[in-house]
Amino acid sequence: MNNLRQITTIRAAAVISSTILGVLTLSFPRFMAEAAGSGAPLVMFVGICIALINYWIVAKLCQRFPNETFFFFSSRLVGRPVSTLFSVMLLLFFSFFTAITSRQFGEVTSMVLFESTPIEAIVIIMLVLTMLSTRRNIVKFSYVHFFYLPFTIGSIFAFVYITKGEVDLLNLQPILTTPSLPFWKGTITASTMFQGSFIITLLVPFMKNPKKALRAGSAAIVLIGAIYILILVATVGTFGAEETKLLLLPTLEIARTAAVGQGVFERLDALFLIIWVISVYTTIYSSYYLASYFLQNLFSFLDNRLTSTMLLPYIFGVAMIPDDTFQVFYTSNLINIAGIFLLTGYPLLLWLVSLIRRCKGEAAS
């Protein structure tokens, strides 16, 4: 097993970070502003806390079985029929998530970059690229994420720093707001942006130190959460809450206002879009890998090369179902809600069963 344990804690944190940072980076300030106006950063903060609790459940469960895959120990805890049922649900969830995320990517790029290019062409190119990447093993998978993360994180921090001069602190007041139904709905929406942390279920059996899985994921969630809060401060602080609600892609608009050297370099949105494309790719890469993993285990295939190819036409077909952008966002919300019950509820069930039955795997060697 020692030969398989090649993923360090830092690399695991990088995988989780780049998986979380995805397609909603351009549009989420609008959702947060609709939930609480100038209190949007507070909504995100509460959402981060919820995400940390959800991740704690998943990480603690995986740490109890450091030498076993998620599919194997779930079968041992609740039986093969029940675990198979939930595995099918997880397969469908990550397939749908991959499809809708790639469709959102297609909608935005066709709107902003390639106006004359059919959405189908954009989506299939991204999916084929992801499918080919998914054929790698889990260690190479982690290296891909580790390679791209510094570019995305560093660039976003740079953009936020550049736009700080446009922020009017009056637009961020009052920061505190009375919790209402829209506020709590916003916190749930914010927490769903961190559902990619479920990727830890694939990483733990290959980590050099599985006991640090909780630390790796928590650091990733806090890091990406801090980036989201900074983006909210920059966006709402520049445009105000009411105008942010009217913008389809607020983060892209704030990138368009960025300028370096007193206007020598302006309209940096093109560069920001390149970084966004990379972050979307890593998110789709992880969700595609998870879908391929569950399909591989359900049918006992030797590796995920065949399953990744089998999933391609299905995922592409699902991605093309919504008729327009509004249906895409509506479908995305439904999938995120389903993810709350599936990605938190099922691990919670398994964790409770493992505690009640006092079932635990062997310590990592």
Q: What is the pLDDT of residues 69-88, one digit of tens each?
A: 888 888 888 888 888 999 99
Q: Is the pLDDT confidence value at 365 over 60?
A: no
The share of the chain scoring above pLDDT 70, in percent, equals 94
Q: What is the pLDDT of residues 163-207, one digit of tens each?
A: 877 777 888 888 777 778 888 988 999 999 999 899 999 998 888
So what's the pLDDT on residue 53?
Answer: 94
Which parts of 135-268 fold into alpha helices (H)?
A: 138-162, 181-192, 200-203, 213-239, 241-246, 250-257
pLDDT band for position 1 (cuts 50, 70, 90): very low
Q: What is the pLDDT of residues 114-159, one digit of tens each?
A: 778 888 999 999 999 999 999 888 888 899 999 999 988 988 888 8
pLDDT band for position 332 (cuts 50, 70, 90): confident
The share of the chain scoring above pLDDT 90, in percent, equals 36
266 or 182, which is more confident:
182
So what's the pLDDT on residue 107?
Answer: 87
So what's the pLDDT on residue 317?
Answer: 93
Tell me how far apart the alpha carbons of residues 209 and 216 are, in angstroms, rounded to a whole number.
Answer: 10
So what's the pLDDT on residue 20?
Answer: 93
Mean pLDDT score, 281-297 = 92
DSSP assigned state of 176: -
Nearest to 44 by CA among 198, 134, 172, 199: 172
Tokens of 249: 């892609």
Q: What is the pLDDT of residues 87-118, one digit of tens each?
A: 999 999 999 999 999 999 998 888 887 778 88
Is residue 349 exposed (0-12), middle (13-18) or buried (19+ Cβ within 10 Å)? middle
Q: Is the pLDDT confidence value at 322 over 80?
A: yes
Domains (range + CATH), the chain: 9-356 (1.20.1740.10)
Q: What is the pLDDT of residues 216-230, one digit of tens each?
A: 999 999 999 999 999
CA 311 to chain centre: 20
**2 in helix, strand or coil?**
coil
Mean pLDDT of the chain: 87
Tell me how far apart the alpha carbons of residues 67 and 363 are, in angstroms, rounded to a whole number.
Answer: 7
So what's the pLDDT on residue 48?
Answer: 95
